[in-house]
Chains A and B, each alone.
Chain A
Amino acid sequence: MRELFQRLAGSPAGFIAGGFILLLIVVTIVVPLVHSVNPMAISGNALFPPSAQHLLGTDELGRDVLQLLIHGVRVSLSVGLLSALVASVLGVLIGAWAGYFGGRIDMFLMRVAEIFQVLPTFVLAAVIVAMLGPGTTRVIAVIAILAWPQIALVMRSEVYRVKQIDFVDAVRCLGYSEIYILIREVVPNALRPVVALGTLIVGQAILIEASLSFLGLSSPDVISWGGMLNSGQRYLFNAWWLSVLPGIAIFLTVLAFNFIGDALNAALNPKDTGR
């Protein structure tokens, strides 16, 4: 574990990206504690450019853009992290089962995964959310259902590789059951690539959530970066800060998760761990 951190520290992009995400998390937790302003509060000064009073200006209802951005972190991060988590759990379970036991269940599960992979993910997400109605939980569920096959395919091939290594047969000869061997011996040795891929999926999920909100498929009561883009684009030429700033926020956050994913991928790559 210490070795892993040293390797991550050796990748400046991954290190800065990790710091950025950590900062976002701290800001989301700390700001509402010390500064209990309702971000929905209307100040009467609509569409004010950035100034000393409103550092990043105000929107068409006179709301402070900085406050909105800070509150928007919550939706982006929770959707990104939770949907990646749910997708990873699903993908690990299904991929591990398919890779270990093989046979017809494997065939069936992998065909299902492939079907999901050729579906146009975003269109499908938009249709499902449009039919079911907006809501953070539903968005998380939809993204997770669309993202698990990526994890499952990687997990399956990794489990298939690990189960052929001699230590699995050695433990089998000790009289342990197949389920024990799968969970305690094979899966822990097959998780490395999933960690990196899961991080990349966080970025994808944030992007999908923002796109759905941008298309107006989110609840207007929830502050989200995509929603801010949606309402800000009407004022693009007289109040640029309304659309450019949430755009930059989305861009930086997704980029940060991609950098972390790449850094993890490099750090966890078994080829150069020296073992």
Chain B
Amino acid sequence: MHNSGPILSIQNVTKRFRNNAGDWFHAVNDVSLSVAQGEIVALVGESGSGKSTLGRIALGLIRPDSGSVCLDGRDLAGLSPAELRAARRRMQPVFQDPTASLNPRKTIRALLAQASHPDAIELEAYAIGLLESVGLTPGSEYLARFPHELSGGQRQRVAVARALAMQPALILADEALSGADVSIRGQILNLLLDIRQKRNVAYLMITHDISVARAFADRVAVMMRGRIVEHGPAGEVLTNPTHDYTRSLLAAVPEL
């Protein structure tokens, strides 16, 4: 709505879960993070650091125990179910495993039609355009196929196309590159960068792989045991880390 404020703003969010032994633990502990229009923010941390839980809270899929999530300046908690459904279209996820994130019983055509922005009138042409914008050309050849008839990389492209279909302002990529092998990872990464240039989409990249953050983030937040321990412009955080945990993450990555 307003170009000035951030698209997504997470303020002092806390979420606790009970583990198998019945003890409470903080999956996310007093975390604040924001993403501005067209910005790429990388949220880095090991598995179990709470970054995926934070992602699901940002998407409105999990309600936080305390704190607020604001999309375009509106608090998700204050919206009615119908308003929440409409609002969350501005923010689309791309998950790690495209095999799980695409309904196996639907054709690509049906998947894209289901995801299409209400303003798209010519659904067929719109779907073909989306497929070609993610590098699946000619798009018409893919419409009648099922996800299991595509390769893993092609499936992840379809997942990206579906996220774009809603014309979101923000794409939340939760380990979206981790499932793919190295060459496909590079292709998808370039695709995401390309999309940002063309559509000015913002990204919240959730990843355990700090080299992804190095490759294209504007800002990096490092998460450990539910807290953000380091946060700043990518260049600063990655060249001059102040927290030991960030240093150990960086040390784990071979220098390119």
Binding site for B on A (CB under 8 A): 165-167, 169-177, 185, 188-189, 275
Contacts and interface: CB of A to CB of B under 8 A. Distances in A.
Contacts of A167: 100-103
B104 A170 contact: no
Contacts of B159: 170
Nearest to B91: A173
Given A166-B95, A167-B101, A173-B59, A275 B89 contact: no
A175 B96 CA distance: 20
Contacts of A177: 81, 85
A188 B104 CA distance: 10
SS of A interface (majority): helix
Given A174-B114, A275-B148, A166 B101 contact: yes
Given A175-B85, A175-B89, A176-B85, A169 B59 contact: yes
Given A171-B103, A275-B148, 10 more contacts: A166-B97, A166-B100, A169-B101, A170-B95, A170-B102, A170-B162, A172-B88, A173-B89, A176-B114, A188-B105
A8 B167 CA distance: 44
A200 to B, nearest CB: 24
A57 to B, nearest CB: 52
Interface residues of B, number: 26
B166 interface: yes
B88 A173 contact: yes
B93 A170 contact: yes
Given A169-B61, A189-B105, A174 B89 contact: yes
Given A175-B86, A176-B85, A275-B148, A170 B101 contact: yes
B92 interface: yes
Contacts of A172: 61, 88
A9 B108 CA distance: 30
A154 B108 CA distance: 30
A176 B89 CA distance: 10
Nearest to A170: B101
A37 to B, nearest CB: 49
Contacts of A170: 93, 95, 101-102, 159, 162
Interface string B151-188: 00000000100100010000000000000000000000
Interface in B55-112: 56, 59, 61, 81, 85-86, 88-89, 91-93, 95-97, 100-105
14 contacts: A166-B97, A167-B102, A167-B103, A169-B56, A169-B59, A170-B102, A172-B88, A173-B93, A174-B89, A174-B166, A175-B86, A188-B105, A275-B104, A275-B148
